[in-house]
A and B are shown apart, each in its own frame.
Chain A
Amino acid sequence: MASIEVNGKSYETDEEGYLVNLTEWNEDVGKYLAQTESVEMTDQHWEVINFLRDYYNEFQIAPAVRVLTKAIGKKLGADKGTSQYLYELFPYGPAKQACKIAGLPKPTGCV
């Protein structure tokens, strides 16, 4: 198993760099994972990450892209409630890249 080191502590990741134990996640780990993805975190990024983590805690899965865009639209205004906006924040795709930074497992399947 691979691992990353943040603030002197080691965290286990899978082959693709997703955190294995999501309870270990903290903001610094999130920032580190964002760096590995070349994503520069802003408040807008954290809005998405926090929503993903809250949703995951309730449903044990990341939200559907549609659920995410709707929630972000409600929070930040309709112009932000588009997948285009999410792709601007997370160019490799909001589902996979944002999940990785949020310390959540990778969505699998035909996505």
Chain B
Amino acid sequence: MADETTPVAVAPAPTPAAAAKPAEKAKIEAPAYRELPFIPALQPGSMKDSRPYVANEKIQEALGFNTKLDDDWQVTHDVAIAKMGELLGQSRALKVFMDSCVHCGACTDKCHYFLGTADPKNMPVARQELMRSVYRRYFTLPGKLFPSLVGAKDLTKEVLDDWYTYFWQCSQCRRCSLYCPYGIDTAEVTMAAHSILDSAGYGEKYSNEIIGKVHRIGNNLGLPGPALINTLEGVEEDVLEDTGVAVKYPLDVHGAEVLLVTPSADFFAEPHIESLIGYGKVFHAAGISWTLSSKASEAGNFGMFIGNYEQLRKIALRVREAALELGVKRIVVGECGHAWRVAYSFWNTLVGIGAGANDPFAIQLQKQLDPNYRQPSHICEVTWDLIQQGRLKFDKSANDHRIITFHDSCNVARASRMGDMPGGQFEIPRNIIKAVANHYVEMAPDTIREKTFCCGGGGGVLTDELLDLRLKGALPRMQAIKQVADHDSVNFVAMICAICKAQFTKVLPYYGFKMGMAGGVHQLVSTAIVLKNEQ
């Protein structure tokens, strides 16, 4: 239980002295606060040694990738260039993104990693140039004939090392894309780079190990069925003890109306589990039968982070299989940023959750799902619809010890939507918070909604060996939080993403805040919702 959960009088703005700083072996510290907006003085090469662990042969083999870089560089070179050609052939968009950048620099100071690290290769334009220069050399006529005139580069081991280093310093948050006058989707470039690296046998341990676990065990954490049952039983006991109401957290119930697919961190970590408790209370209060699935015990889909369509689909298929087996009428996604992007934007054509795919199982599923609901729905859409229908009751004063702000998660904000109006993904979570709590404050306008700053841990960089990068990348967001903490005594940052929750919990103490300051929107719902037994 996060220490934030104990109701106390409104806490004063935290000071660095008040918060315990985690002890580190190699001392890693947060950079000094800087007033936004700012442009850092360049520190070339300052992040050249920041690299995640490389996936070992076993991890690579399980996903069908080359297991390691070949001893003969020419072999690796040819594999990488062939993969690049394949991706360019599949995606017209990628080719346009390679061709259309004019190096105007509008993206440079929009990236949280550049702002936090000052390494010029973390300017989005420079990061992408690592790939564009190779693209020009092998896939354009001027680059083939006169490479030095057009800044075209051979793919050498050093270049590929640079790719590994700097394409794993991008969280695919797409804030830079928002400001690009050509609309270049920079995350697509990073994804393509990850995909090429994987093919070459140069995969990232963190992401690829996790994807292997999803296939082997069913979720990113590697929670087997019995552990899920044990955890859910414990949650039922706790909620009964806290509220006197027997709220159920069902697993693998055939014939339930709703299948809830949520990140496995919701079963394991703090504060994530507080939101899981909230989802269950919402379904209980509304009298909706629901179930979790041991097969689809993961909403997250790291196939997106590594830019791999096959993995994206294979991971998503687990949700379809579970939905067909359980006979559910609705599929609802829990608080997970990139999962909602995958669910909202890709599930339809990938596996038939929503219209699009037309294989027999997709058609069967589309017939099974209730067309009166958005398929899939976000848990925030479900809760907000119920609030509007008057089916949920709240005691808002239960959240009075909290002064709340909302952190928009990148993949929800810039790559998906909620509800049936533009900007629903911004309004609906805020509407829920305002319906369950009395004190709400916005952060600075340039740091919220579509302009939101990444937490610093998305896109497959939420791993301990990248803590230095994560701390530096969190700087703009922490600066915005500090403003509202100092000015408005904000003491709770609400969010709807498992990665954001884990990242904030880790980095907040380095910036002088309590880790319990971060929590879920449904954690707030859970605190305020009024439950009855006879439902």
A84 within 8 A of B: yes
A61–B227 CA distance with the chains assembled, in angstroms = 7
Q: Are A70 and B23 in contact (CB under 8 A)?
A: no
Total interface residues on A, CB under 8 Å, equals 32
Bound Cα distance A61, B294 (Å)? 15
Chain B nearest CB, measured from A53 CB (Å): 15
Q: Which of A65, A67, A83, A108 interacts with B230 by CB under 8 Å?
A: A67
A residues bordering B, Cβ < 8 Å? 15-16, 36-38, 58-61, 63-67, 69-70, 81-84, 87, 91-93, 95-96, 105, 107-111
A109/B238 contact (C-beta < 8 A), A59-B224, A92-B23 known? no
- Number of A-B residue pairs having CB atoms within 8 Å of each other in the complex: 111
Which A residues are in CB contact (< 8 Å) with B220? 108-110
Knowing A16-B465, A60-B224, A66-B234, say if A110 contacts B269 (CB, 8 Å). yes
Tell me if B25 counts as interface (CB < 8 A to partner A). yes
Contacts of A111 in B (CB 8 A): 221, 265, 268-269, 272, 502
- Taking the closest CB of chain B, its distance from the CB of A58, in whole angstroms, is 8
Q: Given A15-B205, A109-B210, A110-B300 in contact, is the A65-B221 Cβ separation under 8 Å?
A: no
Task: Tell me the bound Cα distance from A96 to B205 in angstroms.
Answer: 17
Contact of A59 among B20, B24, B219, B230 (CB under 8 A): B230
Contact: A110 with B464, CB < 8 Å?
no
Contacts of B219 in A (CB 8 A): 109
Taking a contact as CB atoms under 8 Å apart, the answer to whether B3 and A108 are in contact is no
A–B pairs, 24, beta carbons within 8 Å: A16-B464, A16-B465, A59-B224, A59-B226, A59-B230, A64-B267, A64-B273, A65-B269, A66-B235, A66-B273, A87-B20, A91-B20, A92-B22, A92-B23, A108-B206, A108-B220, A108-B221, A109-B221, A109-B265, A110-B264, A110-B269, A110-B272, A110-B336, A110-B498
CA distance A61 to B272 in the complex (A): 18
**CA–CA, A69 and B213, complex, Å:** 26
One digit per residue, 1 when the CB lies within 8 angstroms of any chain A CB and 0 when it does not, for chain B 205-248 equals 11001100100000111111011001100110010000000000
For residue B263, CB closer than 8 A to chain A, the reply is yes
Whether A66 contacts B231 in the complex (CB less than 8 A), given A96-B464, A109-B219, comes out as yes
| Cβ–Cβ < 8 Å partners of A69 in chain B | 1
User: Which residues on the A side are within 8 Å of B272 (C-beta)?
Assistant: 110-111
Chain B residues in 8 Å Cβ range of A107? 221-222, 268
Known: A67-B230, A69-B1, A83-B1. A108 touches B53 (CB 8 A): no
* Cα distance A107–B20 in the bound complex, in angstroms: 23
B238 touches A66 (CB 8 A): yes
CA distance A83 to B516 in the complex (A): 10
A37, A69, A84, A111: which has the most chain B beta carbons within 10 Å? A111
Q: What's the Cα separation between A105 and B502 when bound, in Å?
A: 18
Q: Please report the C-alpha to C-alpha distance between residue A93 and residue B22 in the assembled complex, in whole angstroms.
A: 9
A16 near B53 with CB under 8 A, answer: yes
* Cβ distance A14 to chain B, nearest Cβ, rounded Å: 8
Task: Establish whether residues B3 and A84, one from each chain, have CB atoms under 8 Å apart when the complex forms.
Answer: yes
- Using known A-B contacts A82-B1, A110-B300, determine if residue A65 contacts B20 with beta carbons closer than 8 Å: no
Expressed in whole angstroms, the Cα–Cα distance for A110 and B462 within the complex equals 7
A16 → chain B closest CB, angstroms: 7
B501: interface (CB < 8 Å)? yes
Task: Decide yes or no whether B270 CB sits under 8 A from chain A.
Answer: yes
With A69-B1, A70-B238, A84-B3 in contact, do A59 and B227 touch (Cβ < 8 Å)? Answer: yes
A15 CA / B464 CA spacing, docked (Å)? 11
Whether B499 is near chain A, meaning CB under 8 Å from some CB there, is yes
Contacts of A110 in B (CB 8 A): 220, 263-265, 269, 272, 300, 336, 462, 498-499, 501-502
Cα A69 to Cα B270 with chains together (Å): 11
B2 at the interface (CB under 8 A from A): yes
Measured between C-beta atoms, what is the minimum distance from B309 to chain A in Å? 22
Complex Cα–Cα for A96 and B502 (A)? 12
CA distance A70 to B223 in the complex (A): 19
CB neighbours (8 Å) of B501 from chain A are 110
Q: Are A108 and B210 in contact (CB under 8 A)?
A: yes
Contact (A83, B3) CB under 8 Å given A64-B267, A67-B230, A96-B464: yes
Most-contacted residue by chain A among B219, B224, B231 (CB, 10 A): B231
A111, chain B: closest CB distance, angstroms: 4
* A99 → chain B closest CB, angstroms: 12
Query: Does the CB pair B224–A61 fall under 8 Å?
Result: yes
If A59-B224, A83-B3, A109-B219 touch, whether A64 touches B53 (CB-CB below 8 Å) is no
